[in-house]
């Protein structure tokens, strides 16, 4: 099993990351009187498709699964990864399948034609596995974006998600949505619960992202009980839970949310 790839933490990369945040934006004004929460799972492990989906479905909710087709049927640091059966079951149960790059390409290190090829490859590979829905939501692997990749993917998808750990409120960039991780052990999960509780006084659109959902999770995963504790906090908050695709459609039609 190869060691997981980690994006660069050099000063140059940090400057580029900042620059990407402020460029090629598609801003909307998120001024909600009733909070929205979306759960997303990246890559995605089989445990997210089974234990993760079960935790959401027990509350009557559905999530967004950002798939990288290269992982299908593989075993990696997240454990066993999704397969065609998981895709079919999730889709039939009303979950959203979102797009990642095919080989989990770091978009800050690739040129636009490689990114486009990777996205198209991913879409066609998932269709070949039996996916029928059109993918309208995209997540940048590692949350790594550039102005050029944001511009490119803005034309293909309704939303592009990053990994900056904030609630989406006020002026929000649909080309790099914030999202709060469901990882980091008890301290990380406490932060996710705090973010949920903060919605009660200051509503916004809170997106979570998770990876594996299993006992003894990876560094980027959580346990089923931890996910359930976040779900319980969301239930207590009274927030509406919807997939990222459904939430973005809602934003298009609501007054008070303008692009």
Instruction: In angstroms, give the least distance from the CB of 66 to Zn ion.
Output: 6
- Tokens standing for 254? 């609501």
Instruction: In angstroms, give the least distance from the CB of 25 to Zn ion.
Output: 22
Instruction: Kindly write out the interface string for residues 162-201 of this chain, putting x where it contacts Zn ion by CB under 5 A and - elsewhere.
Output: ----------------------------------------
Instruction: In angstroms, give the least distance from the CB of 211 to Zn ion.
Output: 8
Instruction: In angstroms, give the least distance from the CB of 43 to Zn ion.
Output: 4
Residue closer to Zn ion by CB (options 43, 80) is 43
Using only the alpha carbons of the chain, give its radius of gyration. 17
Instruction: In angstroms, give the least distance from the CB of 160 to Zn ion.
Output: 13
- Which residue number is nearest to Zn ion in terms of Cβ? 42
CB 195 within 8 A of CB 203: no
Work out whether 43 is an interface residue with Zn ion (CB under 5 A). yes
Residue closer to Zn ion by CB (options 120, 194) is 120
Instruction: Report CA torsion sign: 37, 38, 42, 48.
Output: positive
The residue within the footprint of Zn ion, chosen from 52, 141, 203, 221 (CB under 5 A), is: 141
CB 169 within 8 A of CB 204: yes
Work out whether 212 is an interface residue with Zn ion (CB under 5 A). no
Residue closer to Zn ion by CB (options 42, 173) is 42
Question: Phi and psi for 115 in degrees, rounded to 5?
Answer: -65, -45
Instruction: In angstroms, give the least distance from the CB of 203 to Zn ion.
Output: 28
Return the H-helix or E-strand segment holding 190.
Answer: helix 185-201
Work out whether 42 is an interface residue with Zn ion (CB under 5 A). yes
Q: Which of 44, 9, 7 has its CA nearest to residue 218? A: 44
Tell me the C-alpha distance between 27 and 190, whole Å.
30
Residue closer to Zn ion by CB (options 126, 199) is 126
Written as one string, the DSSP assignment of 43-112 is E-BHHIIIIIHHHHHTTT---EEEE-GGGTT-EETTEEBP-HHHHHHHHHTTPEEEE--TT---TTSS-H
In the complex, which residues of this chain contact Zn ion (CB under 5 A)? 42-43, 141
């Amino acid at each position: 099993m190869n060691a997981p790839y980690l994006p660069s933490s050099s000063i140059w990369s940090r400057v580029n990351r900042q620059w990407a945040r402020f460029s090629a934006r598609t801003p909307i004004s998120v001024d909600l009187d009733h909070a929205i929460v979306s759960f997303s799972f990246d890559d995605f492990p089989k445990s997210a498709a089974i234990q993760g989906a079960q935790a959401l479905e027990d509350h009557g909710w559905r999530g967004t699964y950002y798939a990288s087709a290269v992982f299908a049927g593989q075993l990696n640091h997240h454990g066993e990864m999704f397969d065609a059966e998981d895709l079919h079951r999730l889709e039939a149960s009303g979950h959203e399948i979102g797009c990642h790059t095919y080989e989990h390409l770091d978009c800050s290190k690739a040129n636009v034609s490689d990114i486009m090829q990777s996205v198209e490859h991913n879409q066609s590979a998932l269709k070949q596995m039996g996916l029928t829905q059109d993918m309208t939501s995209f997540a940048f692997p590692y949350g790594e974006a550039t102005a050029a990749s944001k511009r490119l993917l803005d034309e293909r998808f309704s939303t592009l998600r990053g990994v900056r750990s904030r609630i989406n409120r006020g002026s929000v960039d649909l080309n790099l949505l914030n999202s709060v991780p469901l990882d980091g052990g008890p301290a990380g999960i406490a932060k996710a619960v705090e973010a949920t509780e903060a919605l009660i006084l200051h509503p916004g659109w809170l997106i979570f992202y998770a990876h594996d959902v299993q006992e003894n999770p990876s560094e980027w995963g959580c346990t089923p009980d931890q996910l359930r504790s976040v779900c319980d906090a969301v239930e207590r908050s009274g927030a509406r839970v919807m997939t990222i695709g459904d939430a973005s459609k809602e934003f298009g039609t609501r007054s008070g949310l303008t692009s």
